[in-house]
Amino acid sequence: MSLEEARLLVDALETALREHQQEDVCATLAQLRVLNVQLTRAVKAAKSETYVVRDENDRLRLGLEALRYEQQQLRLKIDECSSEVHDYEKVPLASESDFLARNPDRQTSDPKTMMLARLDEELSERRRIELDRKRLLAEKSKLVQDNRTLEHELEALDGLFIKQIISVSSISRLLLLVLFTDQRQATEGYGRALSKR
């Protein structure tokens, strides 16, 4: 074989190789296009699944944050209520030992029942005191009214007494005047009688 024949053979082989490669390239390219379409669909499906999972994750995260916020608010309310002085704590109650001394049957009671019993006892005691206060106010009102009546009677008697004093003083003046005049006349008469003697 000559060099030219070898070159022709190499050219023919290269051409055959190129044609064969071109067919292989076309087949590979077709396969790549199919794979590209499949991968594009898989990527779209994965993206949509990711969106769904992300939305679910976001929803759960927001729900968790809402629960944490609610828990925090409830803890704040509980702390406020725990630190606040309640009305039943402001009520001046008899000491627990005094209560138990008066009510020995309550010694086995739980604290809540005992507190309710103490409050009931305090309420009944306050009602009794309120009734006593109303009764005493009624008595006071009656005594004030009686006092006013007696005051008016005393003022009337004072007026009568003053009138009596005035009339007595005027009578005593008259008596004194009469006595004085009688005495004068008697003295003058005695003096005349002596002078006649």
- Model confidence pLDDT, tens digit, residues 117-155: 888 888 888 899 999 999 999 999 999 999 999 999 888
Alpha-carbon torsion (117, 120, 126, 130), positive or negative: negative
CA dihedral angle for residue 33, residue 37, residue 43, residue 48, rounded to 10 degrees = 170
SS3 for 107? coil
**Nearest alpha carbon to residue 99 among 76, 72, 73, 119:** 119
**What is the pLDDT, as a whole number, of residue 165?**
81
**What is the pLDDT, as a whole number, of residue 154?**
87
Residues (pLDDT < 70) of the chain are 1-10, 13, 16-32, 86-91, 108-109, 180, 182-197
* pTM score, whole prediction: 0.39
